[in-house]
Structure 1
Amino acid sequence: MGCCPSLSTPFFFKGTEKKGELYNMTTIHQQQLEKLIQFQHPEKILDFLPGLTETQIATLFQLDTADYQRLKSRFQEQVRETAQSLLDDAAFADGIDRLPFQPGEIVLGLGESSTDDLLSWLELLRQAFELRRPHDQVRFVNAGVSGQTTTQALRSLTATLLQKPNWLICFVGANDVQRIGFPLAKSLVSLEETARNVAAIQHLAATQTKARQIWIIPPLVVSERIAANPFFQRLQLTWNNEDLIALGDLLRRKSGDVLDLQALFGNPTSPDLMYPDGLHPSLAGQQAIVRALVKHLIERNT
């Protein structure tokens, strides 16, 4: 999607691609198709097209509408079950009760595939909140787009902010440090440009809304998994922990309210918290993120 492969694409096609057929839909197995639907949401990319229907979106995946809806409903059910499991922990349930979101407020998550994921921290937070505090009518907006850099997030920000969020949770930057081509391995966005983009996002959000901003620092990757991924190797894609550490340092300097996933996931990153591609948080990782975010919001509000 977009000008470059998204963060999620390599995981879907790992081990299934044939030479010259990296994106041939006829070669995708059911598991890969489910992962595409989990992470790729054309309606966000094609939002300039009026009246885009689920039937049209299903066609893009070569599915009929019923099958597409059935697959999406599986993720919705998995989110509900996982959120309920989280709420079975009395401490987490108490945390949801104490979250400082006021009735009718809007919580907007700006991010890439780690947010766009149908099983993401934001979807878990949405479901847990709705199960625990349904009468508060807090609206959660998932503005994550797989593959999005800070440059692309900035490009669409003024439209995004028209929703006037009360809370803006930013989880971006991992795509900025993606490197393309061997041995040059140029990053998509330089660290200096990332710094300017972050400053611009912060300024626009502060001047055009009254939203409280929270920035999430992306975790480190599992380097050996990335190095072993045939899709990454064929397209000459890589992510370096040195770049992610530099990004983390930048966000700590630039952002006052920061949730640090590099500290949470560890260095080296715990493999259990990442999918087999070494790049994306697994469901266990997403649960760790939402737990940490709830705790962070409560601590910052006391």
Structure 2
Amino acid sequence: MMDAPLTSAYTDAERRHFLRYTRTRSWPMLQRFPVGDELHTELLAQMLASSAETIRALESSLAEEAGAVAARLLTDPEHRAAVARLPFRPDDRIVAVGDSITADRLGWFDLLAHSVGSGPVLVNLGVSGNTTADVLERFDVVEAARPTRVLLMLGTNDVRVHGRTGGHRMTTAPETERNLRALVDLVTRDLGATVTVITPPAVDQRRIDEFFRDGPVRWRADEVAEVAEVVRKVAPDAVDLHTATADQRPDHLLEPDGVHPSRTGQRFILSRIVAELGARS
């Protein structure tokens, strides 16, 4: 692979933000036709007009931050007890399937992996931008991860709307329902795994309208709520993250775009999922 010329087009802060939500190792094509770690690093370096050394340093800093946050959370006796109640066996393979909310290297699933420690294997298959249809298409990747338990959080991008003058939604509510039912069936029947379905967190319409005002992409809070209702219909025992986050103040749970959870929001998501899973064990 030829070296791209390094430029100052991106700051390290911008590169770090991009890496926070981008996991090339979870991309379907690179799962089906795997490449070595060095090529993953080189790919990201090319994409970000950077050096491989910078990419490795930024990825390490994100992992260290997630580990430090998890360690601080475990100093809370209540959180530590909730983690201890999780229904995970030492030989479990826990696979998270979702979009950027799950792919986030500072997000709930990475914090969970750092909190659980040794024993069960935790695999993050979150891919930024994924809809329920995207995950259905890459279900072979989920199967290849050999999960015993799948944590499934999808739906935010199903209602993503494209177009500056019109508005074309990625997936209709009936399509989302069909896709979710298919995914649950595939996990439980084809893979013989346990599935925990999670509603997407609430979004903030005011922030979305401001952040995406001049862009060709947007979301509607009421349509995210509609998807959450579809999830509850498909899986009545779903972890209802949407209701839990809608009851909170969005200014500290969400990033400025009004869609992605902030660091505080990701910790809140972790606490809700851990509490729900522990209560069901």
Fold match (TM-score > 0.5): yes
Alignment length, in residue pairs? 270
1:118–1:211 distance in 2 versus 1, CA, 3 Å: same
Q: 2:91 matched to 1:101?
A: no
* 3-state SS of 1:193 partner: helix
Give the superposition deviation at 1:182. Answer: 4.1
1:50–1:63 distance in 2 versus 1, CA, 3 Å: same
Following the alignment from structure 1 to structure 2, what is the Cα–Cα distance between the partners of residues 269 and 182? 29
Give the superposition deviation at 1:162. Answer: 2.7
* CA deviation string 1:225-263 (max 9, x = no partner): 11111xx23332211111111111111110143111222
Match of 1:278 among 254, 258, 268: 258
Q: 2:120 matched to 1:138?
A: yes
Does the 8 Å CA contact 2:164/2:215 hold for their aligned counterparts?
no
Q: Which amino acid aligns with 1:95?
A: A
Does the 8 Å CA contact 2:153/2:198 hold for their aligned counterparts?
yes
Following the alignment from structure 1 to structure 2, what is the Cα–Cα distance between the partners of residues 269 and 237? 24
For 1:188, the equivalent position in structure 2 comes to 170
Does the 8 Å CA contact 2:10/2:48 hold for their aligned counterparts?
no
Q: 2:238 matched to 1:238?
A: no
After TM superposition, the score normalised by the length of structure 2 is 0.91
Does the 8 Å CA contact 1:99/1:298 hold for their aligned counterparts?
yes
Q: Which moved more, 1:157-166 or 1:288-297?
A: 157-166
1:251–1:33 distance in 2 versus 1, CA, 3 Å: same
Report matched runs for 1:191-210 at 5 Å.
191-210=173-192
For 1:149, the equivalent position in structure 2 comes to 131
Q: Which amino acid aligns with 1:235?
A: G
For 1:248, the equivalent position in structure 2 comes to 228
Does the 8 Å CA contact 2:83/2:278 hold for their aligned counterparts?
no
* CA deviation string 1:125-182 (max 9, x = no partner): 000111xxx3xx2100101000001100000013312322111111111000011224
Following the alignment from structure 1 to structure 2, what is the Cα–Cα distance between the partners of residues 150 and 31? 31
Does the 8 Å CA contact 1:43/1:57 hold for their aligned counterparts?
no
For 2:204, the equivalent position in structure 1 comes to 222
After TM superposition, the score normalised by the length of structure 1 is 0.85
Q: 2:35 matched to 1:51?
A: yes
Structure 1 runs of 4+ aligned residues shifted over 3 Å read none
Q: Which amino acid aligns with 2:85?
A: R
* CA deviation string 1:11-47 (max 9, x = no partner): xxxxxxxxxxxxxx85433322110011122333241
Structure 1 gap segments, 5+ residues each: 1-24
Does the 8 Å CA contact 2:97/2:150 hold for their aligned counterparts?
yes
Does the 8 Å CA contact 2:106/2:266 hold for their aligned counterparts?
yes
Following the alignment from structure 2 to structure 1, what is the Cα–Cα distance between the partners of residues 241 and 43? 37
1:86–1:100 distance in 2 versus 1, CA, 3 Å: same
1:268–1:128 distance in 2 versus 1, CA, 3 Å: closer
For 2:51, the equivalent position in structure 1 comes to 64
Following the alignment from structure 1 to structure 2, what is the Cα–Cα distance between the partners of residues 158 and 143? 12
Match of 2:72 among 63, 78, 85: 85
For 1:6, the equivalent position in structure 2 comes to none
